[in-house]
Each structure stands twice: as C-alpha cells, then as structure tokens.
A and B are shown apart, each in its own frame.
Chain A
C-alpha cells in the first residue's frame, strides 16, 4: 500500500527554539497533504492543508505564523513549529492520498516535547 513517512519520529527541544518536521510520500505524488495534531488521550485535529506550489490553508484557531508549512515538491511537505513552547508539545501527524481510491494514508507521527 501507499506509504507516507515522517521525520523525525521524536524530538525534544528547548522553549523558544524552532523545530522542522518532514512528511514524505514515498511511492506516489501528492499535491495535497494534511497536518494534524493530537494531544494525549484526545482525537486528531486538522491543523492545515498543505498545497504543493501554493500557500497552505489553515484551520480556524491555528496560527499560520507559528506553524509554517512548505510544500516544495510533490512528495515533501514540511511543518516548522517556530518559537516552540511547552503547550506545543504534541503528536504531529501528516497524511496524504494517492488520489485514486479515496484512501488517506498517515505518516508514523512525530512526537514533539518542548521543555
């Protein structure tokens, strides 16, 4: 099946630093990718839609200047958490679709801990 890969899987950083998370579609091209956030024992919440070659679309309440999204190629989207704070600690998951079957595949997730 289609594979979506994220890197890094875990990252610990100090408050005030920036962290970049990569999401790659390994065996298909994705003009659109999606970024979600999941706090402990909660469901997934859509943060933004990443569009190849254009600006990302952010969900209400998500700060676009804090969560920078770049979709520079058809197989790579990046999420940068700028000036991270402890409340940004979460599980960040990306997804993408090959577009043929309606299926959406999720990356392995990136667990961010901000100290």
Chain B
C-alpha cells in the first residue's frame, strides 16, 4: 500500500525566512505532484515533477524530486504572507499515466509578518 508522508505538518515562520517541506513516499513512482489549498477552497496545482532529478521553480517556491530516495522537497525562499496555505504532495497509485492520487496529510503553513 502506497503511503505518502509529509513533514512538518504544521509550520509557523516569519516573513523573509527560508524553509523546506519534505515529502516521502513508500513505493516506486514516476511522478509527484504539489498542490496548494487555501481555506475553504479546492486545490491549486503548483508543480508536477516527472523524472528523477527534476527541479521546478515558480516565484518563491522550488520543488525537486529524487525518485531513488523517494523524496520530494518544496523549498520556500524569503517567505511572504501570501504563501500562507496548506501544501499537499501527492503520488499516483500506479506507475504510468495519470491516475488517482494518494495525498500526504498536508503541511499547514502560516507566515507571520
């Protein structure tokens, strides 16, 4: 059974600081997804990482994937209040093609002025 673990589950940080969210998964996968969720809203797609060593950046967020270690990171650089949200990583249940996803429990991020 595929398990996806995120840590930390809760993070409070100050604006301007850097931090990393970690996502480990238990079985081989060829892709990993990162999503953002604001309170009461659905998911916003941040990154899809499709290969080992993949690194993607968008603004203050950068995601990477190490398929050998079954680890992905989401790095936040110089955090700003607008990045406060819950961040989920997710892995497909089966290799190959879009599939139903298994989600981590989410990291609730609060960025304080």
* Residues of A in contact with B (beta carbons under 8 Å apart): 1, 32, 34, 42-46, 49, 59, 93, 95, 97, 99, 101-109
Contacts of A108 in B (CB 8 A): 41-42
Count chain A CB atoms within 10 A of each CB in B43, B88, B97, B99 and give the residue with the most. B43
Let me know if B55 is at the binding interface, CB within 8 A: no
The answer on a CB contact under 8 Å between B42 and A102 is no
Identify the 6 closest CB pairs spanning chains A and B, nearest first: A97-B98, A109-B42, A46-B100, A106-B43, A43-B103, A44-B103
Q: What are 27 of the A-B contact pairs (CB < 8 Å)? A: A32-B98, A34-B100, A42-B105, A43-B104, A43-B105, A43-B106, A44-B103, A45-B103, A46-B93, A46-B101, A46-B102, A49-B100, A95-B101, A99-B97, A99-B98, A101-B48, A102-B48, A102-B98, A103-B48, A104-B48, A104-B101, A106-B35, A106-B42, A107-B42, A108-B42, A109-B41, A109-B42
8 A Cβ contacts from B62-113 to A: 88, 90, 93, 97-106
Out of A32, A46, A99, A103, name the residue touching B45 (CB < 8 Å).
A103
**What's the Cα separation between A101 and B48 when bound, in Å?**
9
**What's the Cα separation between A16 and B62 when bound, in Å?**
47
**Further 4 A-B residue pairs, CB within 8 A, beyond A93-B43, A102-B31, A104-B98:** A34-B101, A43-B105, A99-B97, A106-B35
* Residues of B in contact with A (beta carbons under 8 Å apart): 31, 33, 35, 41-43, 45, 48, 50, 88, 90, 93, 97-106
**What's the Cα separation between A109 and B104 when bound, in Å?**
19
**What's the Cα separation between A95 and B35 when bound, in Å?**
13
Contacts of A1 in B (CB 8 A): 45
Please give me the residue from chain A that is nearest to B106 by CB atom.
A43
The answer on a CB contact under 8 Å between A93 and B42 is yes
**What's the Cα separation between A109 and B84 when bound, in Å?**
20
**What's the Cα separation between A101 and B45 when bound, in Å?**
13
